[in-house]
Structure 1
């Protein structure tokens, strides 16, 4: 059984019968869990570094699953053959790196046949949401959780099927805050999560209270510069801070007080 709350939440998103590719698999804990409990009939554990690759192979062998899980060395989705997997998980990387992996896989045809992406960026979640939106992936769900003092966001994306709500509906509709333009509202939902802002939680409040402290720190640093560029950046930052504060103020008192 997985001891990590984060990995358990990722595993819970993976659909029954999926052929899994876990990119950056480290010790292959996720593929071993999902194949071992029968959720996935097969899996590929991809690793770019020799140490984690060998650790993955040892873990797979110890679980007696070498016939169902293959650990492969390669950069991102290069470990896959087109059509080999229908679900891809990528966890524990920065959002920019995840986007780079997905884009390279898209261009190289490695996402052919993939119908589900379960992604857990450590930072830069808005970059991942923007890539999904740009390339027609439907953001079907989000989870935010705290574990060992860190807050994680999980994104579950599906290729749109007939009848599914399009991303335009998800990111459009009623704005998060009164008076926001459609463009401002979309940017805020990409930054904070269209589902997470609808269902605020303690983990959500914890994350954005921390982000506000970081942004205010950057704002104070910018005050030391008298360049026009710094002034423009400070104005932009002040607007972002104000929007985040407004969202937090709409939350229950016991959560928003954390800011």
Structure 2
């Protein structure tokens, strides 16, 4: 029987655990290690019992601390590339007396993950979709293909989905939520062999297109108004806007209009 490498404080017998999680986003309101923001609570729903997780861009480390305290996950690492949030995460873990179960590492992206960690889930949340894409692409050598990816991009969902498709990740769950007047998406993906999504599925989200939840439609109603205004501003601009840019915006307006029709 294969032995799964240990994270701090984890028993050697824990094996092949399927995990999910999303890294702690930037601080919102009274967010702390006991009370998570609505966004992180929604992310936490995707985390199964016993996950061994890598929380990349962990900021204060609130999410892994909360999940350990709730008994949801077995162990975690919190990775940060900047010194200030790294120290904040260290302090959160230390004050919660969880040093034995959560490793805090100063590293760039997936470089925080070491071969012996036995990670079953990787989370990147609270950053742009293109940034998440670049972190995943730059750290592909550290991906076993068995991890579940829990992603919460702040915009840039289309290029992120494109990367997932190009690298054989199937989107297994998607949702949209609204918090503090902003709309956020959560994308959960697993490597599952070649997968093909249409251009519109990459734009809106394949599962979102099927579900068409009220909050999803509200998000696109708002974006339609903004993009229509952008098209008008292009037409009124004193300096000509590149035709390719105009056509791209017009295509987006058409897709959204068809979605909402």
Kindly indicate whether residue 225 of structure 2 is the aligned counterpart of residue 193 of structure 1. Answer: no
- Indicate the structure whose relative CO is greater, using CA pairs within 8 Å and at least 6 residues apart: 2
Question: Which of 104, 113, 122 matches 1:88?
Answer: 122
Q: 3-state SS of the aligned residue for 1:20?
A: strand
Q: Give the alignment's Cα RMSD to 1 decimal.
A: 2.0
Name the residue aligned to 1:217. Answer: 229
Q: Does 1:140 align with 2:172?
A: yes
- Aligned residue among 132, 142, 145 for 1:110: 142
Residue 146 of structure 1 deviates from its aligned partner by 0.7
In 1, the alpha carbon distance for the partners of 2:201 and 2:133 equals 18
Aligned to 2:89: 56
Give the count of matched residue pairs: 227
Between the aligned partners of 1:30 and 1:105, the Cα distance in structure 2 is 22
Cα distance in structure 1, aligned partners of 2:251 and 2:145: 41
Cα separation, 2, equivalents of 1:19 and 1:188: 34
Once the two structures are overlaid, the 10-residue window that deviates more, 89-98 or 194-203, is 194-203
**Could you tell me how far apart the structure 1 residues matched to 2:42 and 2:175 are?**
8
Deviates most, 186-195 or 31-40: 31-40
| 2:229 partner SS | helix
Is 2:65 the partner of 1:37?
Answer: no
What secondary structure, in the 3-state scheme, does the structure 2 residue paired with 1:67 have? coil
SS of equivalent residue, structure 1 residue 143: strand
The runs of 5 or more residues in structure 2 that have no matched partner are 1-33
- Give the match's secondary structure for 1:198: helix
String of CA shifts for 1:184-203, please: whole Å, max 9, x gaps: xx111111111112112232
Separation (CA, whole Å) in 1 of partners of 2:180 and 2:91:
26
1:83–1:112 CA contact under 8 A, matched in 2:
no
Question: 5+ unaligned residues in a row in structure 1: which ranges?
Answer: 172-185, 250-259
- C-alpha change, 1:20 and 1:232, in structure 2 (3 Å) is closer
Paired with 2:110 and 2:225, the residues of 1 have a C-alpha distance of 36
SS of structure 2 residue aligned to 1:64: coil
Deviation at 1:229, TM superposition (A): 6.3
Structure-1-length-normalised TM-score:
0.81
Query: Aligned equivalents of 1:67 and 1:43: distance in 2?
Result: 10
Shift of 1:114: 4.3
**Contact 1:82–1:113, Cα closer than 8 Å, also in 2:** no
User: What residue in structure 1 maps to residue 195 of structure 2?
Assistant: 167
Query: d(CA) in 2 for partners of 1:111 and 1:93?
Result: 20
CA distance in 1, matches of 2:85, 2:210: 38
Residues 57, 125 of structure 2: 8 Å contact kept: yes
Q: After the TM superposition, which segments of 4 or more aligned residues of structure 1 sit over 3 Å from their partners?
A: 224-229
